[in-house]
Structure 1
Amino acid sequence: MASSFRSVDRRTVLRGTLAAGAGIAFGPLLFRGTAQAYAWSRTLTQGDSGADVTELQIRVAGWAADSAGHSRVGIDGDFGPGTAAAVRRFQTAYGLAADGSVGPLTQGKLNALEQSDGSTAHFDWSEFADRSSGTFDGGKLSVSAVKENVRRCMYKLEALRKKLGDKPITVNSGFRSIAHNADIGGAADSMHLYGTAADLDVPGVANKTVYQKAETCGFSGLETYSTDHQHVDSRADLGRDWWWEDGTI
Structure 2
Amino acid sequence: MTTTAATAPPLTRWISPPRFAPYQLEASGNARSALRLYDWNRELSGAVYELLHMFEVVLRNAMDERLCAWNAKQPNANGLGFHSPDWLLDPAPLLIRLTRNGQDIRKAHEHATTSARAWQPSRSVAHSDVLSQLSLGTWRYLLPNKDPGRQRLWNEALRDAFPKLTTSSRLLTAKVHDIHLLRNRVAHLEPLIRTGVVSHRLTDVLDVLRAVDTVPEQWASGQQRVTTVLKARPR
Normalised TM-score (structure 2): 0.26
Greater C-alpha Rg: 2
Which structure carries more strand by proportion? Answer: 1
Normalised TM-score (structure 1): 0.25
